Structure 1
Amino acid sequence: MTEWLQHWLDTRTRLRPRTRNGYAEHIDRYLTPHLGGALLSELTPGLVQQAFDAISYHTTPTGDRLSPATVQRVRATLRAALNTAVRERLLPSNPARGLRLEPGTGARPVVWTDQAVAEWRHGGVRPAVAVWTKEQTRQFLDFASDHRLYALFHLVALTGLRRGEVVGLRWEDVDLVKGTVRVARQLQSNRGGLVELAPKSAASRRMVALDHTTTGVLRRHQWRQQQEAQARGQEWDPREFVFTGARGGPLAPERLSRLFRKLNDESGLPPVRLHDLRHGAATLALAAGVELKVVQAMLGHASIVLTADTYASVLPEVAREATERTAWLVLRDSGRVRRCARARRGRRVLDSAWTHPGPISTNSRLS
């Protein structure tokens, strides 16, 4: 199995770097230790089930038990490798099908309400995925307003661009006259370097509209970037990346995440991940009354179901407004409704005193 899993990974030539790294981690950390000594031809559903029962008790580097969602992803890696073995007629069927595993449901965004913040400050209770309220988002942007990469955080917080997409933006993708950003590429880390890739899907290749404030923020960022290039004795290149390191080079996604985490800590706001700004952008857009289909296009999702299921977190004020609207819709004419009900009851009393004469002929109906 060790040889087959490595062979399978080596022959997957079209994998993205992050996907390849994820498969390699699953193989090295979980599959090889539990199945590596077995012969491919002798693999059975019972043996695979036994291995995954043990894998489910693994712990993460932070000491937490492996989540069911992670176990499901490891199973998906094994199934893909064994499906290839079935296609090459090395196995009659896939023994990784039909495993009994705990369902892995993705964590849904939780809003940092006052109660959630109080629980975090007193007991360290922190949701797996959390988003800021509009006030908290505004506080962070105010705090980071003087940072050289403020425009990046502003753009992500309002449009929900992915980390790789925002660091992969070039100025040729930004139209400051029309107020649009074209998502045409992304940057990913690969073995210590950066690689430029196409967006992860056809839906991810999209045009994102900008509001006037964000357009102005990008104009100021462009001016500052030109000043930085001039101070380094370089000529500013309009074809280069929109967001760069201090020396003008491309910005690594992991470095950006570390910078955001540092600013988050310094701001005193409850913790969120950089990717959670994407969740927050969708949540705030829905709170502003933006249609779900428009939010789906903004995020670059192929399915509106994914947008609704994952990103439609309800802010407290939106929930209250929804209940008020529902009550108003039902009760706005309650007085008139009660009067009509009394009138209908009166008509039923009169009708009950009248006996139906039976079938009516056409002639009598006309007369």
Structure 2
Amino acid sequence: MSTIKAYETAAGKRYRVRYRKPDGSQTDKRGFRTKRDAELFAATVEVKKARGEYVDPSLGRVTVAERSKSWLSAKKARAKASYYRTLEIAWHTHVEERWGGIRLVDIEFSDVQDWVSELAEKRSATVVIRAHGILAGILDTAVRDRRLARNEARGVVLPRKRKKKHVYLSHLQVEQLAAESREKATLVRVLAYTGVRWGEATALRVSDVDFGRRRLYVHENAVRVGPKTVVDDTKGGKARWVPFAPFLEFGLRAAAKGKRADELLFGDGENYLKTPDYRDGWYAGAKKRAGLPESLTIHDLRHSAASFAVAAGANVKALQRMLGHESAAMTLDVYADLFDDDLDKVADALERSRDEALGATA
């Protein structure tokens, strides 16, 4: 049971509650202005102990930086190297400076909201959401470890991600871009007509091309992580076979010529090609010479591949498999604008159905 005792301070009488924690050790809470407040606190402690909800206040006196180490370590063990790198950068750049030296118990909801709002004025929604997710994740772990009663980072208003409008090139524009890309022409055509990601394409080896079936075996992803290229599973974590059109065969055979089966298909066979900067380098030059927008990224070629496939009659399921999306629902969500014609067909079908039904009763 708890005991309550009064004591004198310069500001007047105060009350102290002494009680036992679930592990049997004694502690106390001081500073209550009235005996009634002290009694309410003591009663709350007993209820929380009975329910198994008690949180030792002393455990929350560690800093966010101290708790970040185990959280980041856990992420590193599970996440892909490229994703972990973005978390690590976000922690050091946006979270550590503001929250690293703050004790867990001293974090207030309004402070977190102010931080998010201020960061949103200077950074993109993606950056803000990632930074907030790191802080919230660290505090979630603290709650599970009984260092905090609740996570004050949850429930804050976050900025909304604005969906970037997809850029779809025409067949002529792709051909102009490929021609201006010179020795990388085949790579550009592969990106624009198969929908494989840059890292997936540059990780392809000669043995991954099945010329008999006209398929690419996509099972690895080469990503730049700092100064190094890290090879991991594909973004979705699953290998897939991607079809390629007959007109790509000549270029693919030329890319594979003289190389061993285990060598990289694109480039010199040994070194992974770096992701091109859309503002500088060979890709920027090719865009300029082809008369294409400077803002066109290498990933936009994947969007063009999706539009070509849909225009050619590919259904959602086929497009999902080709692009390596987790589900057809995800494909529809990303490329809903490519299926507007399907909505027109539904409306036309309803019109015909109604006319037939009414005509039969006339």
- TM-score, normalization: structure 1? 0.71
Distance 2:332 2:149 in 1: 40
Question: Which residue does 1:89 correspond to in 2?
Answer: 146
Shift of residue 300, structure 1, vs aligned partner: 0.4
Shift of residue 329, structure 1, vs aligned partner: 7.7
Distance 2:146 2:353 in 1: 69
Shift of residue 32, structure 1, vs aligned partner: 2.2
Corresponding pairs, count = 295
Say whether the 8 Å CA contact 2:240–2:321 is kept in structure 1. yes
- Percent of residue pairs identical: 25
Question: Which residue does 1:291 correspond to in 2?
Answer: 315
Listed one character per residue, the Cα deviations across residues 42-94 of structure 1 (whole Å, up to 9, x for unaligned) are 22222211211211112xxxxxxx23343223222222222222233322222
CA RMSD of aligned residues (A): 2.9
Matched, 1:219 2:238: no
Matched, 1:9 2:72: yes
> Which residue of 112, 132, 137 corresponds with 2:169?
132
Shift of residue 266, structure 1, vs aligned partner: 2.4
Q: Which amino acid aligns with 2:143?
A: V
Q: Which amino acid aligns with 1:87?
A: R
Distance 2:336 2:175 in 1: 20
Matched, 1:22 2:86: yes
Three-state SS of the structure 1 residue aligned to 2:217 is strand
Matched, 1:249 2:312: no
Distance verdict in 2 for CA 1:284–1:5, change over 3 Å: same
Three-state SS of the structure 2 residue aligned to 1:53 is helix
Q: Which amino acid aligns with 1:306?
A: M
Matched, 1:306 2:326: no
Say whether the 8 Å CA contact 1:157–1:281 is kept in structure 2. yes
Question: Which residue does 1:35 correspond to in 2?
Answer: 99
Question: Which residue does 2:22 correspond to in 1?
Answer: none
Shift of residue 171, structure 1, vs aligned partner: 1.1
Three-state SS of the structure 2 residue aligned to 1:181 is strand
Q: Which runs of 5+ in 1 are unaligned?
A: 59-65, 110-129, 227-235, 345-367
Shift of residue 265, structure 1, vs aligned partner: 2.1
Say whether the 8 Å CA contact 2:173–2:290 is kept in structure 1. no
Distance 2:164 2:110 in 1: 30
Q: Which amino acid aligns with 1:162?
A: R
Three-state SS of the structure 1 residue aligned to 2:85 is helix
Shift of residue 172, structure 1, vs aligned partner: 1.5
> Which residue of 261, 269, 281 corresponds with 2:305?
281
Distance 2:124 2:165 in 1: 14
Equivalences for residues 1-367 of structure 1 within 5 A: 1-14=64-77, 15-58=79-122, 66-109=123-166, 130-144=167-181, 147-202=182-237, 204-223=238-257, 226=258, 236-245=259-268, 248-255=269-276, 258-271=281-294, 272-314=296-338, 330=351, 340=359, 344=362
Distance 1:49 1:299 in 2: 38
Shift of residue 301, structure 1, vs aligned partner: 0.5
Distance 2:115 2:161 in 1: 17
Q: Which amino acid aligns with 1:313?
A: D
Distance 1:140 1:18 in 2: 29
Distance verdict in 2 for CA 1:12–1:326, change over 3 Å: closer
Distance verdict in 2 for CA 1:180–1:138, change over 3 Å: same
Shift of residue 296, structure 1, vs aligned partner: 0.5
Say whether the 8 Å CA contact 2:193–2:305 is kept in structure 1. yes
Q: Which runs of 5+ in 2 are unaligned?
A: 1-63
Say whether the 8 Å CA contact 1:108–1:310 is kept in structure 2. no
Distance verdict in 2 for CA 1:78–1:284, change over 3 Å: farther
Normalized per residue, which structure has more strand? 2
Three-state SS of the structure 2 residue aligned to 1:313 is helix
Say whether the 8 Å CA contact 2:136–2:153 is kept in structure 1. yes
Shift of residue 302, structure 1, vs aligned partner: 0.5
Three-state SS of the structure 2 residue aligned to 1:295 is helix
Distance 1:310 1:50 in 2: 32
Distance 1:333 1:87 in 2: 59
Listed one character per residue, the Cα deviations across residues 5-48 of structure 1 (whole Å, up to 9, x for unaligned) are 34532443323222122112221222123323321232222221
Distance verdict in 2 for CA 1:212–1:256, change over 3 Å: farther
Shift of residue 181, structure 1, vs aligned partner: 0.8
Say whether the 8 Å CA contact 2:204–2:265 is kept in structure 1. yes
